[in-house]
Chains A and B, each alone.
Chain A
Amino acid sequence: MNIGTHGGSCSHSCCLRVQNLSVKIGSESILTDVNMHVHCGELVALIGPNGAGKSTLLKAILGQQEYSGVISFSVPGQRNRHAKIGYVPQTPSFDPGDPVTVADLFACCMSKRPAFLGISKAMREKILACLQRVSGEELVDKRVGTLSGGELQRVLLALALEPLPNVLILDEPLSGVDVEGMEALMEMLDDILKTYDLSIVMTTHDFGMLHKYADQVYLIDRGVVCSGTAAEVLDSRSFHQVFHRKGGI
């Protein structure tokens, strides 16, 4: 998935910009006038109640949702550069009965050779190298539908990192993952940010992780209600108003 370039000024090496984005489905306004600026090396968390439009915003960035406004990506010094986006979907559900292994899933995404003809030795080596990034080599021959929540998130994360994206998008990566798994996954994302030249945008309901890992937090409720550091957003009046009105988190 590629998105276009923009010519705005930004001192950072690369950035993703969302300007005046609005989404309407039928006559209902899902998001209004969203502005967001994500720098390279940053982890940005989108928080908000259910139905606030967080996933819709991600879908718009992914190009899966029609919108008005501008979504752009810039790399100073490089013209016509397009952003590569890696995506880890929300609560990915795979049928446990489907005979599709982790290796098959990677081969379907990465190889031109049809997976039904078998996976070449070279491709298997490449897949193992991808899984190594998330310490998941042992999962290579497991059926995708039989993986636990944490294992599946790691596999999909490894898949999203191949080819290496400019922006990594994760939709509720912590849902369905136990507390230990959450910590491990966030540590992994932190390592990825330090190792590779990319930025991460994720939605979450787990605010406990924000102070430690998020560089920016956007509170979304049909638009951006407030943004800033985790401390600024979580202590804001807007945060309490939004979640109090919606009947808690």
Chain B
Amino acid sequence: MQLWYRICELLPLELLQWDFMKNALLAILIMTPLLGLTSTMIVTGKMSFFSDALGHSAFTGIAIGCICGIGNPTWVAVAFSVLFALLFSFVRSRSSHTADTLIGVFSSTAVALGIFIATFGGGSFTKYNTYLIGDILSVTPAEIGMLAIVLVAVIVFWVLFSNRMTLTSIHPQLASSRGISTGTVQTIFTTVIAVIVTLAISWVVMLILNSLLVLPGASARNVAKNIKQYHLYSVLFALIAGIAGLVISYYLGASAGASICLVLAVLFAITFCLRKAGR
């Protein structure tokens, strides 16, 4: 961290005189590529509502963790989200309902359970506000270290599984005929999303987290011509929006998460117009 602080001090930026801004910038440099990478497969696999539902289940996990008196409820939330993801995959593979119906069922049940637990016995809801309006400016060096470990793990996972995930997303039957265990690939991927979403809600407003998981990939999809460009643009857009959003939030005094999201929305609009112009 000391090396990072020194690098920041060399940069002629007023906002980097504060330690919490230095931490936030480093967290963004780690978290946005993570979200950009994951976004490609969420968009291709048409799983945007699923990741939204996972955010809701994470909140329920946090409520359970708090009730159980666990100091850091994030790990309970991770465990609950993974359980939620696995249960969803299991029911989906054995149900005739479409994915969006099942997502609705699981999402609303998770939220209702979370609110029920949080308010059980007349409890106050306000202690959960951190998770509903999470802030990247509150990130600590220890949490940045954890984010870095997750980023490395996801990159390794991507190198090993991305070909199989792509094939499973675009044509499961074809993937299966090539010897790919599509069920296993989907289960592992949903578990990865569950972990990322749950860890991220401490620093990004829960209500807009999903847009960070969808917009980079959706914008990249507008202009990319192949898989390589798709990943490159998605990570780049997430990174640009992360840095720009942090700077905007500092000077305008607005929420960093919301600013990042709005920059991504602008990038989506621009790439959408470029796509139209390119036709």
Contacts and interface: CB of A to CB of B under 8 A. Distances in A.
Contacts of B126: none
Interface string B149-173: 0000000001100111011001101
A102 B228 CA distance: 13
A118 B228 contact: yes
A62 B228 contact: no
Contacts of A92: 171, 174
Contacts of B166: 100, 104, 108, 115
B224 interface: yes
A94 interface: yes
Interface string B209-250: 000000000001100111111110000000000000000000
B251 to A, nearest CB: 35
Contact of A100 (B164, B178, B227): B227
A218 interface: no
Chain B, interface size category, equals 20 to 34
Contacts of A1: 176-179
B177 A117 contact: no
Given A98-B44, A101-B226, A87 B167 contact: no
A85 B173 CA distance: 13
Nearest to A95: B170
Nearest to A89: B173
A224 interface: no
A143 B174 CA distance: 17
A31 interface: no
B173 A64 contact: yes
B contact patch SS: helix
Given A99-B224, A107-B163, A114-B162, A87 B230 contact: no
A89 B174 contact: yes
Interface string A69-81: 0000000000000
Contacts of A103: 226
A56 B229 CA distance: 38
Interface residues of A, number: 33
Interface in A105-128: 105, 107-109, 111-112, 114-119
Contacts of A85: 177
A98 B171 contact: no
Contacts, number: 85
A66 to B, nearest CB: 14
Contacts of A104: 166, 226-227
Given A115-B163, A116-B162, A100 B177 contact: no
Given A109-B167, A116-B231, A62 B226 contact: no
Interface-centre pick from B44, B163, B230 (highest chain A CB count, 10 A): B163
A118 B225 CA distance: 12
A116 B227 contact: yes
B228 A116 contact: yes
Contacts of B159: 114, 117
A230 B40 CA distance: 48
A99 B230 contact: yes
A240 to B, nearest CB: 33
A97 interface: yes
Contact of B167 (A62, A95, A101, A108): A108
A87 B228 contact: no
A115 B162 contact: yes
A144 interface: yes
Contact of B225 (A99, A114, A115, A117): A99
A141 B225 CA distance: 9
Contact of B158 (A97, A107, A111, A116): A116
B193 to A, nearest CB: 17
A115 B176 CA distance: 19
Contacts of B225: 99, 101, 141, 143
A115 to B, nearest CB: 5
Contacts of A64: 173, 176-177
Nearest to A160: B177
A109 B40 CA distance: 19
B170 A98 contact: yes
Contacts of A116: 40, 158, 162, 227-228, 230-231
25 contacts: A1-B178, A1-B179, A64-B173, A87-B173, A87-B177, A89-B177, A98-B44, A99-B224, A99-B226, A100-B166, A100-B226, A101-B227, A108-B163, A108-B164, A109-B178, A111-B163, A114-B162, A115-B166, A115-B227, A116-B158, A116-B228, A116-B231, A119-B228, A143-B225, A144-B170
